[in-house]
C-alpha cells in the first residue's frame, strides 16, 4: 500500500538554534556598537597667538575652549565629529616690550574627519582634521601709552573703534568678524563604563586676515579632553 505523500518536515535541533544565535550575535554586535552616534562635552586650554606684526613681540595668550560635540560613525574606523565651541584666542606682548593684548573670543563650528587607529589594549588612538568656521563674540585691544614724559595711561578699545581710527590713515581698514580655520590633531580614547573619554592635542590655523591691511592671522595650540556617551532614541 502506498504511503501518503506528505511534505518532509525539517527537524530543528537545539544545537542548530544555539549556533545560529551565536553567529547572529557575532555579526551584529560590532556593527551596532560602532554605528551608534555619541554626544558629549569638550573642553581644554588654548595657547593662542597672532602671526605678523599686529602686536610687536607677540607671545601666547592663555585661554580656554569649551563646548559640545558629537561623533557620527560612518564605518568602524571613520567618523564625522562636529563641534560647537566657545574659544578664546588673541595674543599678548612679550615681557619687556610694549604692553599690549589682543583678546578675541569666537563661537566656532569645527567639522572634523576622525580616523580610529588600531587599539592597544583598552586604549584607542585616533587622529582628526578638517575645517572650522568661527565668528567673534568679542574683540578688544588693551595696552598702555608709551609716550615720553607722559604718565602711562591704560587703553582699552574694541576692534571696530580701532578700525575706524585706522581708516583715517589706511582708507577701508576693517577687521574681519569671521574666520575659517584648518584643524589637525589626535589623541587617545578610553572606555569608561560605556562612555568614551579622550585626551589629545590640536593645532588650529586661521586663514582669514584679522585686519585687511595686515597679514595677522590666528593660531592656537589646544590641549583638549572630551567625554561622550551613546545616543539612544
pLDDT at 32 (0 to 100):
35
Per-residue confidence (pLDDT) for residue 167, from 0 to 100: 80
Q: What pLDDT shows up at residue 37?
A: 94
Place of cell 569666537: 106
Helix H or strand E segment including 138: strand 123-144
Q: Which residue from 227, 213, 147 is spatially nearest to 176, judged by alpha carbons?
A: 213
* Predicted local confidence at residue 165, as pLDDT: 84
Q: CA 192, CA 143: separation in Å to the nearest integer?
A: 46
Q: What is the three-class DSSP state of 32?
A: helix
CA distance 162 to 196: 45
SS (HEC) of 90-132: EEEECCCCCCEEEEEEEEEEEEEEEEECCCECCEEEEEEEEEE
Return d(Cα 15, Cα 69) in angstroms, integer.
Answer: 46
pLDDT at 115: 97
Q: Give the pLDDT confidence score for residue 93 in this predicted structure.
A: 77
Could you read off the pLDDT tens digit of each residue along the chain, which spans 233 residues? 444 444 444 444 544 543 454 444 334 333 334 578 999 999 999 999 998 766 667 788 999 999 999 999 999 899 999 999 999 999 987 665 567 788 999 999 999 999 999 988 889 999 999 999 999 999 998 876 665 555 566 778 898 888 888 888 888 888 899 999 999 999 999 999 889 999 999 999 999 999 888 888 999 999 999 999 998 75
pTM of the model: 0.78
User: Phi and psi dihedrals of 168, rounded to 5?
Assistant: -70, -30
- DSSP code of residue 208: S
Residue 7: predicted pLDDT: 43
Amino acid at each position: 500500500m502506498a504511503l501518503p505523500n506528505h511534505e518532509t518536515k525539517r527537524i530543528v535541533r537545539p544545537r542548530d538554534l544555539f549556533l545560529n544565535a551565536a553567529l547572529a550575535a557575532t555579526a551584529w554586535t560590532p556593527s551596532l556598537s560602532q554605528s551608534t552616534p555619541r554626544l558629549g562635552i569638550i573642553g581644554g586650554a588654548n595657547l593662542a597667538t597672532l602671526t605678523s606684526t599686529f602686536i610687536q613681540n607677540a607671545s601666547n595668550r592663555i585661554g580656554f575652549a569649551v563646548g559640545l560635540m558629537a561623533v557620527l560613525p560612518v564605518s568602524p574606523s571613520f567618523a564625522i565629529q562636529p563641534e560647537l565651541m566657545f574659544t578664546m584666542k588673541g595674543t599678548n606682548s612679550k615681557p619687556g616690550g610694549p604692553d599690549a593684548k589682543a583678546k578675541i573670543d569666537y563661537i566656532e563650528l569645527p567639522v572634523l574627519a576622525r580616523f580610529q587607529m588600531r587599539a592597544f589594549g583598552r586604549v584607542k588612538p585616533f587622529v582628526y582634521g578638517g575645517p572650522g568656521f568661527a565668528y567673534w563674540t568679542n574683540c578688544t585691544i588693551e595696552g598702555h601709552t608709551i609716550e615720553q614724559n607722559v604718565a602711562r595711561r591704560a587703553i582699552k578699545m574694541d576692534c571696530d573703534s580701532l578700525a575706524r581710527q585706522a581708516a583715517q590713515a589706511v582708507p577701508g581698514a576693517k577687521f574681519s568678524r569671521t574666520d575659517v580655520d584648518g584643524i589637525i590633531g589626535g589623541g587617545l580614547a578610553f572606555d569608561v563604563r560605556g562612555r568614551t573619554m579622550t585626551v589629545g592635542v590640536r593645532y588650529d590655523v586661521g586663514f582669514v586676515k584679522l585686519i585687511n591691511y595686515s597679514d595677522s592671522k590666528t593660531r592656537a595650540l589646544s590641549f583638549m579632553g572630551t567625554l561622550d556617551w551613546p545616543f539612544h532614541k
